[in-house]
Amino acid sequence: MQPPQHIPVSSPATLADNPFDDLVPVTAQAMMDRFDHPLSVQNWVMNDPGRRDRCYAVLLLSGRAQVGLRQGTIECKAPALVWLPLGETRRFSVTAGAEGYLLSVTDDLVARHCGDSAGVAGGELPLRFAADTVHNVTPAEQSENLFLLTRSFEAIRAELMQNALGASLVVGAHLQIILTLVLRLAEGVMEQRDKHGPGSITFQRFLQVLELHFREHWNIADYATALGVSERRLGSAVMRATGKPPLTVVHERVLREACRRLEQSPLGVAQVAYGLGFRDPAYFSRFFKRYMGEAPGGYRRLRRAAERVRDDTFAAWP
C-alpha cells in the first residue's frame, strides 16, 4: 500500500496566480465617499499620506463643487464628471445640498486595469492616456452616459463595502467604464492622441495644465514653472510630440475655443474675447485674423451661412 500523497491546500504561488484577486485587498487601493445633500459646505484635504498619491474621480449629480489642484482650480456645476490624475489634487469641496461621489484609487490599480498593457478593446481606447490627464466633462442630464456613470460609481461603492471575492476585478471593470466615458465626453482627446501619440509624461502634463490655464494667457515660462521643468525641457518635449513649439500649441488651443464659441455662442465678438481672457477685443480680432485669415465677425458669418445651406439641403430631402 502506497503512502498517501500530500496535497498542499494553497501556496504563495497559487495565491499570486489567482485571477480573481491579489494579495492586496481592494479596500487598500480604493476609497469612495458619497455626499448626499449635506447641510453645509463639505471639504476634503488630499495632502495627508493616505490621499496624496492617488487618482481621483468626481461625479457631481447636483449642486456645485470646487477642486483645488497643484496649479489652479476647477469649478464644477452638476452634472459633471471630473478625472484627476496622480499628484494633481490638493483639496475638494462641495456646496450645501450637493449630491454625488468622490472616488480615490491608487495609480497601481489604474495601471493594472486601464494601462496600455491591459488589452482594453484591443488597444483601441487610450485609457492610460486619459487617466494621465485632467478632465472636466459634462454628461447631459437624464442621458444614458450619466446613467452609466452613476451605476458604475454606485457599483464600486458596493464592492468596496462588501470586499468580496473578485472585488478588485469588478472595481477595475467599472474604472474602465468611467475612463471610457471620459474619452466619450472629452472634446478632442482622441483626436489629440491620434495626432500626436501619447508623448512623454512632460508633454501630457503640459496638455492638462494648458487646458486649465489657456484663458489666462500664461507665457511658456509660467507653464514650465507649473510643471517643475526648464523651458528648454518643455520645448523639447512638445517639439518631439507635435513638431511645434509650445507657444504654437497654446495659440492653437485658444483658437479652437474661439472658433467653437463664435460658431455656437450668441455672445458678441467682444464678449467672446473677454471670455477668452483678452482685455482688448481689437487685439483679439488681430490675433484671430493673423492665424485664421479672417476677422472673427467674418468667420462667424461664413460658418453660420454654411450651416444654413446645409440645413436647407437636408430639409429638401424626401
Q: Which of 128, 157, 192 is the last residue of a domain?
A: 192
Determine the 3-state secondary structure of 165 from DSSP. coil
Domain that holds residue 47: 22-192
pLDDT at 221: 92
In angstroms, the Cα distances linking 53 to 2, 29, 253 are 56, 11, 30
Q: Which of 175, 192, 209 is the last residue of a domain?
A: 192
pLDDT at 178: 95
One domain, residues 31 and 143: yes
* Residues 223, 206 contacting (CB under 8 angstroms): yes
One domain, residues 283 and 210: yes
Task: Per-residue pLDDT tens, the chain, 318 aa: give them.
Answer: 444 433 333 333 333 333 344 445 677 889 999 999 999 999 998 876 656 678 899 999 999 999 988 777 888 899 999 998 887 888 999 999 999 999 999 888 888 888 654 444 444 567 877 787 788 888 888 889 999 999 999 999 999 999 888 899 999 999 999 999 998 887 655 555 555 454 567 887 888 788 888 888 999 999 988 887 788 889 988 988 888 999 999 999 999 999 988 988 888 999 999 989 999 999 999 999 999 999 999 999 988 887 766 655 545 444
One domain, residues 182 and 203: no
One domain, residues 117 and 184: yes
One domain, residues 205 and 284: yes
Is 94 part of a structural domain of the chain? yes
The total number of structural domains in the chain stands at 2
Is 17 part of a structural domain of the chain? no
Is 13 part of a structural domain of the chain? no
Q: Taking Cα atoms as reference points, which of 90, 93, 29, 87 lies closest to residue 55?
A: 87
Torsion, Cα of 269, 275, 277, 283 (10° steps): 0
Please give the Cα distance from 216 to 231 (Å, whole number).
18
One domain, residues 235 and 262: yes
> What CATH number is given to the structural domain containing 95?
2.60.120
